[in-house]
Amino acid sequence: MLDYGQPPFARWFPGGQANLCYNAVERHLAERSGQLALIHVSTETGSERVFNYAELHAEVQRMAAIMQAQGVGKGDRVQIYMPMIPEAVFAMLACAHIGAIHSVVFSGFASLSLAWCIDDARPRLIVSADASSRGGKVVEYKPLLDEAIRLAESKPEKVLLVDRALAPMPREAGWDLDYAAERAKHMDAEVPCVWLDSTDPSYILYTSGTTGKPKGVQRDTGGYAVALAASMRSIFRAQPGETMFTASDIGWVVGHSYIVYGPLINGMATVMYEDTPIRPDVGIWWSLVEKYRINAMFTAPTAIRVLKRKDPALLKKHDLSSLNRLLLAGEQLDEPTGSWIGEAIGKPIVDNYWQTESGWPILANQGGIEEMVSKPGSPGLPSCGYRMRLVNEAGGGECAPGEKGVLMIDGPLSPGCMQTVWGDDARFVSTYWTEVGGKLCYSTFNWGIRDADGYFFILGRTDDVINVASHRLGTREIEESISSHPQVAEVAVVGVAAKLKGQMAIGFSISRKPEFVETEAGCMQLEGEVMQTVDRQLGAVARPARVFFVSALPKTRSGKLLHRAMQAVAERRTPGDLTTMEEPAALAQIQQALKV
Ligand code: AMP
């Protein structure tokens, strides 16, 4: 099953052949062609579209034919920059069907992030749309996409555009293709499935790390299919023929695994939802549970904290009898939030911990294998295939129960986990792997604690990654973007604990023109400009909550920014050991700025 001849590169099911789309769609046609496969609801546009397995298959065939007509074949990359619409799922599945590698970029990211991904993945084709709508606001994609392509060195051959008639979309003839027109040419398309080696890549998904450059997490084909199929039974306890609603976005790993591939591989109907959980009111998600008889639901704790501010009666007015459990992941599930929602809907809550790199839960309650007790605040025990270690940071030894350490995984990683960093094996090895006690171990970059029963508790990141409303962001990327403003000399961005979103990004910056930020009006103007820069380059998702202007930043004598000390001060904690600090007054300035 496993070739681990070249650690830490694990090759699962070498010699086997597979196709994710075949397993997600075609395999079910004989038994389930009339069963719902994809349910799309947009409360933004007031539309509901449903596709049974036969209809989903036909749409994937058409999309695959469009791609093939543009010369896309096995191993070619296709970038998908799409709102939450069915065509995004067709595009992902069509890539898998013809052996192309998809790279979905979260549509909350803007031109610079997108350009970076284009240059790294070098897609032959980009699939996009005119706009998305969120909270009643239309976000135009085409200008961001055009700017990204202008910035990128590597240009795609074609751009395929879905027109939702939400925003004007100027198109360049011969380069920008209209999806509706192309689809009409391939209505009866029959495109054979391209079998891949189990170890061939299925997709690349970019995620933030300690540097300013995102990493392309590369996933395989066979191992991923096996991991998802297994997790649907062991963790989600979901059966073929049932309905699953994962309220996430296809641009995140949760969307890849549990909006698209997991439920479909398991022969379920999957619900895809565009909008926030509170429009038109907080009852919306729960009304979908009633209407589509949803059995398993999955979202992030932030969404629940948003609901918690509203009237719980709205949750209770719907018939939730079909729902078996609610799964929550992406950030820490605090005990009050977990118990509030558990009581409000009267269903079991399953916390699970994982990351883009793993592709499926690392820690969870695997009730589908064996009933086990849930402990508030803990995502549970390691899932099958993960051998976890809690390593003492100072000595590298195993932590005792209750002792804080770095959460690591003994190699090889489980099936479904990242194979490597796209195009950069050396970065995969140097970023994640270290030798602990003579064994190669993968670092999750999370602090953790294990109790005497072996249950893990997650305590945040050891690196510069922050988690805002379960959106993973690299503080270095935000710092680089802020620094590109001509008036910014230096900047430090830290993640600060926040009630609703778990964390928020706060920036401390030194202006090149100190006299400009002497007045409150000057500070506000520059702060506004800096925010706009981040919006334009990275997207509003990465915009810091505040950027303060100071005249010095706390640094070590060797010139390294003391991020942890700034974070501690911003969270009103004591900043710890400051003996290496160059200029203590700098930290006092940060304190003062926050007070104001
Ligand atoms: P992402 O790669 O975007 O899925 O983010 C992964 C990170 O989110 C992890 O490294 C954790 O810091 C955090 N995370 C995910 N799930 C949980 C959870 N159940 N409890 C605590 N933190 C979590």
Taking the C-alpha atoms of residue 292 and residue 287, their distance in angstroms, rounded to an integer, is 9
Note the pLDDT of residue 276.
87
Taking the C-alpha atoms of residue 509 and residue 486, their distance in angstroms, rounded to an integer, is 12
The response to whether residue 249 sits with its C-beta less than 6 Å from ligand 1 reads no
Ligand 1: residue whose CA is nearest its atom 19: 353
Pairing state between β 363-364 and 381-382:
antiparallel
Cα 380 → chain centroid: 21
For residue 312, name the pLDDT band (cuts at 50, 70, 90): confident
Taking the C-alpha atoms of residue 388 and residue 297, their distance in angstroms, rounded to an integer, is 27
Note the pLDDT of residue 316.
82
The response to whether residue 332 sits with its C-beta less than 6 Å from ligand 1 reads yes
Ligand 1 atom, smallest distance to 445 CA: 10
The answer to whether the CB of 381 falls within 8 A of the CB of 363 is yes
The response to whether residue 330 sits with its C-beta less than 6 Å from ligand 1 reads yes
User: Which helix (H) or strand (E) covers residue 586, if one does?
Assistant: helix 584-595
**Residues belonging to the chain:** 596
CA of residue 338 to ligand 1 center, whole Å: 16
CA of residue 355 to ligand 1 center, whole Å: 5
Taking the C-alpha atoms of residue 171 and residue 177, their distance in angstroms, rounded to an integer, is 8
CA of residue 42 to ligand 1 center, whole Å: 27
Phi and psi at residue 222, in whole multiples of 5°? -70, -45
The mean pLDDT of 150-155, rounded to a whole number, is 96
CA of residue 506 to ligand 1 center, whole Å: 20
Instruction: Enter the pTM of the model.
Output: 0.95
* pLDDT per residue as tens digits for the range 202-217: 999 999 988 878 999 9
Which own/partner pairs from 563-570 qualify as long-range (CB within 8 Å, at least 24 positions apart)? Answer: 563/464, 563/475, 563/492, 563/494, 566/492, 566/494, 566/508, 566/590, 567/494, 567/495, 567/496, 569/594, 570/494, 570/496, 570/506, 570/594
* pLDDT per residue as tens digits for the range 20-79: 999 999 999 999 999 999 999 999 999 999 999 999 999 999 999 999 999 999 999 999
Taking the C-alpha atoms of residue 566 and residue 447, their distance in angstroms, rounded to an integer, is 19
Ligand 1: residue whose CA is nearest its atom 15: 330
Q: What letter does residue 99 receive in the DSSP assignment?
A: T
CB neighbourhood size of 48 (10 A): 13
More confident residue, 585 or 355: 355
Check whether 385 has a pLDDT greater than 90. Answer: yes
In the chain, count of helices (H) and strands (E)? 19, 33
Angle, helices 584-595/563-570, rounded to nearest 10 degrees: 30
Mean pLDDT across the chain: 95
User: Which residues have C-beta within 8 Å of that of residue 192, sequence separation ≥ 6?
Assistant: none
Ligand 1: residue whose CA is nearest its atom 11: 331
Ligand 1: residue whose CA is nearest its atom 6: 355
The response to whether residue 406 sits with its C-beta less than 6 Å from ligand 1 reads no
The response to whether residue 509 sits with its C-beta less than 6 Å from ligand 1 reads no
CA atoms within 13 A on the CB side of 302: 18
Taking the C-alpha atoms of residue 80 and residue 503, their distance in angstroms, rounded to an integer, is 28
Three-state DSSP class for residue 587: helix
User: Which residues have C-beta within 8 Å of that of residue 421, sequence separation ≥ 6?
Assistant: 215, 216, 217, 218, 427, 428, 431
Ligand 1: residue whose CA is nearest its atom 22: 331
Pairing state between β 420-421 and 405-410:
unpaired
For residue 579, name the pLDDT band (cuts at 50, 70, 90): confident
Taking the C-alpha atoms of residue 273 and residue 40, their distance in angstroms, rounded to an integer, is 6
Q: Which residue has the tokens 């509170």?
A: 278
The mean pLDDT of 128-154, rounded to a whole number, is 95
CA of residue 200 to ligand 1 center, whole Å: 27
The response to whether residue 246 sits with its C-beta less than 6 Å from ligand 1 reads no
* pLDDT per residue as tens digits for the range 165-202: 999 999 998 899 999 999 999 999 999 999 999 999 99
Ligand 1 atom, smallest distance to 379 CA: 19
| Bridge partner residues of 506 (DSSP) | 494, 546
Taking the C-alpha atoms of residue 134 and residue 255, their distance in angstroms, rounded to an integer, is 17
The structure tokens listed for 34 are: 């009339």
The response to whether residue 472 sits with its C-beta less than 6 Å from ligand 1 reads yes
Please state the three-class secondary structure of 314-357 as a single string: HHHCCCCCCCCEEEECCCCCCHHHHHHHHHHHCCCEEECECCCC
Ligand 1 atom, smallest distance to 461 CA: 12
Taking the C-alpha atoms of residue 475 and residue 483, their distance in angstroms, rounded to an integer, is 12
Note the pLDDT of residue 262.
98
The response to whether residue 331 sits with its C-beta less than 6 Å from ligand 1 reads yes
Q: Which residue has the tokens 């890849």?
A: 256
The structure tokens listed for 13 are: 């099911």
Angle, helices 520-537/475-483, rounded to nearest 10 degrees: 120
Taking the C-alpha atoms of residue 572 and residue 576, their distance in angstroms, rounded to an integer, is 12
Please state the three-class secondary structure of 357-418 as a single string: CCCCCCEECCCCCCCCCCCCCCCEEECCCCCEEEECCCCCCECCCCCCEEEEEECCCCCCCC
The response to whether residue 467 sits with its C-beta less than 6 Å from ligand 1 reads yes
- Which residue, among 279, 334, 280, has the nearest Cα to 304 in the 3D structure? 334
Phi and psi at residue 104, in whole multiples of 5°? -85, 125
Phi and psi at residue 87, in whole multiples of 5°? -60, -30
Check whether 582 has a pLDDT greater than 90. Answer: no
The response to whether residue 299 sits with its C-beta less than 6 Å from ligand 1 reads no
- On the question of a cis peptide bond just before residue 412, with omega within 30 degrees of 0, the verdict is yes
Report which residue type is found at 588.
A
The response to whether residue 356 sits with its C-beta less than 6 Å from ligand 1 reads yes
CA of residue 266 to ligand 1 center, whole Å: 24
Pocket of ligand 1, candidates 302, 304, 374, 446: which has the most ligand atoms within 8 Å of its Cβ, to mutate?
A: 446
The response to whether residue 115 sits with its C-beta less than 6 Å from ligand 1 reads no
Ligand 1: residue whose CA is nearest its atom 5: 355
CA of residue 351 to ligand 1 center, whole Å: 11
Q: If phi over 0 gives left and psi between -120 and 50 gives alpha, with beta otherwise, what is residue 112?
A: alpha
Biggest distance spanned by C-alpha atoms of the chain: 73
Note the pLDDT of residue 583.
83
For residue 135, name the pLDDT band (cuts at 50, 70, 90): confident
Q: What letter does residue 64 receive in the DSSP assignment?
A: H
- Measured between its terminal Cα atoms, the distance across the chain in Å is 60
CA of residue 361 to ligand 1 center, whole Å: 10
Cα 204 → chain centroid: 12
Pocket of ligand 1, candidates 250, 351, 467, 468: which has the most ligand atoms within 8 Å of its Cβ, to mutate?
A: 467
The response to whether residue 365 sits with its C-beta less than 6 Å from ligand 1 reads no
- Which residue, among 13, 390, 184, has the nearest Cα to 3 in the 3D structure? 13
How much of the chain, in percent, has pLDDT values that exceed 70? 100
Note the pLDDT of residue 419.
98
Whole-number Cα distances in Å, 126 to 59, 266, 429: 18, 29, 30
The mean pLDDT of 322-332, rounded to a whole number, is 96
The response to whether residue 352 sits with its C-beta less than 6 Å from ligand 1 reads yes
The response to whether residue 329 sits with its C-beta less than 6 Å from ligand 1 reads yes
Cα 589 → chain centroid: 35
Note the pLDDT of residue 275.
87
CA of residue 19 to ligand 1 center, whole Å: 28
Check whether 560 has a pLDDT greater than 90. Answer: no
DSSP secondary structure string for all residues of 444-462: EEEEEEE-TTS-EEEEEES
Note the pLDDT of residue 470.
87
